[in-house]
């Protein structure tokens, strides 16, 4: 690619070779009329992902890490060698639908005060997925712990996702996020203190603090299969998710609010543990073990996050 490259697509991959090749094929098809480059950062996959991409897509730039450096650090690696005026961060377990990339790109070109822009996410069967993330809320954590959040948010959620025009939001879902290089400015793309999860929240917060507004673009949509590379290590990844949330709380809020956000998040974990008990005969021991281990480890994760800040 040349200095006139309009868009750099960065894909961080870990042991999802089949999905990754399909994702790249969909990107190439969707970006036929866009001067673009595709950068794959492979985090030490053991399934031959890097070799497969080199064979099937010789035009793709590949960084093959010798160890799993984490999602944030790997994206930063891709960003360092990228040349595009705009950056698309795309998960490997996605399939880009026609027009999605161009729709978001054209919106950013016309919106100099836009920060991150996301799109509508669908499951493989065509159902809605969460595409918008709100900044943490004590009230929402309590409602989630009591299983009341779906009654308060569900209808509004569906109406929001099928609206016609762009919507100013807190955080776009990390499966598809586009941003202008000019908006990002100097320095790394993500805070590498987040190994995985909550990195998009940190970046969204940073851009908002600089006066930019993040957006959801409903006219663009992709299929997101979800959690394909993390499912074999579900317990570890779930604990990492909580640790990342705690890091975000204590890194961006006053100590008192961070404390109550952390406390109410623990209530969510405990409520999931309690409701997993009667479902044991139907869903097996795995889900109970997941919530048990996470709830047990949570206090140490909490202390660590509070001390580091």
- Please identify which residue in the block is written with the tokens 């493989």: 124
Q: What is the DSSP letter of 128?
A: B
Are 70 and 112 a contacting pair, CB within 8 Å?
A: no
pLDDT (0 to 100) of residue 285: 66
Question: Tens digit of pLDDT per residue, the chain (309 long)?
Answer: 456 899 999 999 999 999 999 999 999 999 999 999 999 999 999 999 999 999 999 999 999 999 998 899 999 999 999 999 999 999 999 999 999 999 999 999 999 999 999 999 999 989 999 999 999 999 999 999 998 887 776 666 778 888 889 999 999 999 999 999 999 988 789 988 888 789 999 999 999 999 999 999 999 999 999 755 445 567 788 888 899 999 999 999 999 999 999 999 999 999 888 887 776 665 666 667 777 777 888 889 899 899 875
pLDDT (0 to 100) of residue 136: 94
Q: Helix %, strand %, coil % for the chain, to 5?
A: 50, 20, 30
Beta bridge partners of 8: 37, 87
CA 199 to chain centre: 7
Phi, psi of 177 (to 5 degrees): -140, 130
Phi, psi of 98 (to 5 degrees): -55, 135
Are 244 and 196 a contacting pair, CB within 8 Å?
A: yes
Q: Which residues of 198-223 are buried (b: 16+ CB within 10 A; e: fewer)?
A: bbbbbbbbbbbeeebbbbbbbbbbbb
pLDDT (0 to 100) of residue 276: 73
Task: Tell how strand 94-96 and strand 213-224 pair up.
Answer: antiparallel
pLDDT (0 to 100) of residue 229: 47
Handedness of CA 93, 240, 170, 159 (dihedral sign): positive
Q: What is the CATH number of domain 7-136+163-224?
A: 3.90.550.10
pLDDT (0 to 100) of residue 230: 45
pTM recorded for the entire structure: 0.90
User: Which burial class, exposed, middle or buried, applies to 126 when counting CB atoms under 10 A from its CB (0-12, 13-18, 19+)?
Assistant: exposed
Pair of tokens at residue 41: 């950062």
Dihedral of CA atoms 63, 68, 71, 74 in degrees, nearest 10, equals -30
Q: Which helix (H) or strand (E) holds 94?
A: strand 94-96
pLDDT (0 to 100) of residue 192: 84
């Amino acid at each position: 690619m040349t200095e006139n490259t309009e868009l750099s697509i960065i894909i961080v991959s870990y042991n999802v070779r089949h999905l990754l090749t399909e994702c790249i094929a969909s990107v190439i098809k969707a970006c036929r009329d866009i001067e673009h480059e595709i950068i794959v950062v492979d985090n030490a996959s053991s399934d031959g992902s890097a070799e497969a991409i080199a064979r099937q897509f010789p035009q793709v730039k590949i960084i093959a890490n010798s160890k799993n450096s984490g999602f944030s650090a790997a994206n930063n690696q891709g960003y360092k060698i990228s040349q595009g005026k705009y950056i698309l961060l795309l998960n490997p377990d996605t399939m880009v639908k026609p027009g999605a990339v161009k729709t978001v790109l054209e919106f950013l070109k016309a919106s100099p005060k836009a920060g991150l822009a996301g799109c509508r996410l669908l499951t493989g069967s065509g159902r809605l997925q969460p595409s918008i993330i709100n900044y943490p809320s004590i009230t929402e954590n309590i409602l989630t712990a009591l299983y009341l959040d779906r009654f308060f948010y569900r209808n509004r959620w569906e109406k929001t996702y099928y609206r016609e025009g762009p919507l100013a939001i807190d955080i776009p879902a990390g499966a598809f996020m586009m941003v202008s290089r000019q908006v990002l400015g100097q320095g790394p793309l993500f805070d590498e203190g987040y190994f995985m999860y909550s990195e998009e929240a940190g970046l969204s917060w940073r851009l908002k603090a600089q006066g930019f507004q993040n957006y959801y673009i409903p006219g663009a949509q992709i299929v997101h299969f979800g959690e394909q590379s993390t499912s074999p290590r579900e317990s570890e990844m779930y604990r990492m998710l909580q640790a990342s949330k705690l890091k975000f709380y204590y890194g961006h809020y006053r100590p008192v609010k961070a404390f109550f956000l952390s406390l109410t998040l623990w209530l969510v974990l405990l409520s999931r543990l309690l409701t997993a008990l009667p479902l044991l005969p139907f869903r097996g021991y795995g889900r109970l073990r997941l919530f048990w281990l996470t709830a047990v480890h949570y206090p140490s994760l909490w202390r660590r996050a509070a001390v580091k800040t």
